[in-house]
Homo-oligomer: A and B are copies of this chain.
Amino acid sequence: MGAFFKIRKGIVAVSHTLEDGRRQITALRAPGDCVGYLEKDGVYAFEGEALTDVEACAFDRRRFDDFVSVQPDLAAALVEALSSALKQSGMLSLVLGQLRSTERVAHFLAEISALYAERHVSLARPLTLHMGRSEIADYLGLTIETVSRSIGKLKSRGIIATVESGEVVILDDQRLREAGKVSR
């Protein structure tokens, strides 16, 4: 309570669950990102789930805030991190509100591929998602069946392939990003 974490290794899914059990993963956090920063009266606004083994630094919220106030650089970094998270969150809204199922899955694969490459989670292909169909579904606002069928469509279009271990191989990054409506 009153603590937040900076991830050093691993992937964390930030989510929110309704009383009836429906869950939305609102963000994926990778090494360098912070989780648990948004709270109110000691109650976290969202839940966090480790998708892989995670190594993180824990900070005491109060002390950190005090420290920030005398460290302008740190404050700037915090603003930068929050701005970036806000941009990503807006993009997720765009995906959830406007894209069709296969577009969402394509977007997701392109996004996670870029994220992992950027944060050195695993530069190897095939790409290990670290998420089951259930997590992907909860992230994209779809059911596991629809996610499965969308992956099938991308495979049949020759854009991706899967290996027996469940990992994904991106065969055509260009077309994957097009299919996922990824701007640039």
Contact = CB atoms under 8 A, between A and B. Distances in A.
Nearest to A22: B98
Given A70-B72, A85-B86, A93 B26 contact: yes
A182 to B, nearest CB: 10
Q: Is chain A's interface secondary structure helix, strand, loop, or mixed overall?
A: helix
Contacts of A83: 37-38, 82
A79 B61 CA distance: 14
A75 interface: yes
Interface residues of A, number: 40
B38 A93 contact: no
A16 B75 CA distance: 28
A91 interface: yes
Interface in A29-88: 37-38, 45-46, 65, 68-70, 72, 75-76, 78-79, 82-83, 85-87
A34 to B, nearest CB: 11
Given A86-B82, A89-B89, A24 B98 contact: yes
A38 B86 contact: yes
Contacts of A136: none
Interface of A: 14, 16, 18-19, 22-24, 26-27, 37-38, 45-46, 65, 68-70, 72, 75-76, 78-79, 82-83, 85-87, 89-94, 96-98, 138, 140-141, 181
9 contacts: A16-B94, A18-B98, A22-B98, A23-B98, A24-B94, A72-B72, A82-B83, A86-B86, A96-B97
Query: Top 9 closest A-B pairs, CB basis?
Result: A97-B141, A96-B96, A89-B89, A82-B82, A26-B90, A75-B75, A24-B94, A24-B97, A69-B72
